[in-house]
Amino acid sequence: MKKWLEPLSTALVGVATHKLRSFLTILGIVIGVAAVISLMSIGRGATADILSRIESMGS
């Protein structure tokens, strides 16, 4: 039981000790995920727009 409890305790102490570093790391991850999601949405929206324009030319 102590095998998995010790690393968890060490991690929590590290996060509590370096609060600013932990906050900046979490902030960077959140910004990165938001950027990837935004770019994927923009790309899919642009693809749908281009396809609808091409389809409207044909009819």
Q: What is the pLDDT of residues 1-59, one digit of tens each?
A: 678 899 999 989 999 999 999 999 999 999 999 999 999 999 999 999 999 999 998 76
Compute the distance between CA of residue 54 and CA of residue 43 in angstroms, rounded to an integer: 17
What pLDDT does residue 24 have?
Answer: 97
What pLDDT does residue 1 have?
Answer: 64
Q: Kindly state the tokens that stand for 51.
A: 């396809």
What pLDDT does residue 4 have?
Answer: 85
CB–CB of 48/55 below 8 Å?
Answer: no
CB–CB of 23/30 below 8 Å?
Answer: no
What pLDDT does residue 59 have?
Answer: 64
Compute the distance between CA of residue 6 and CA of residue 42 in angstroms, rounded to an integer: 44
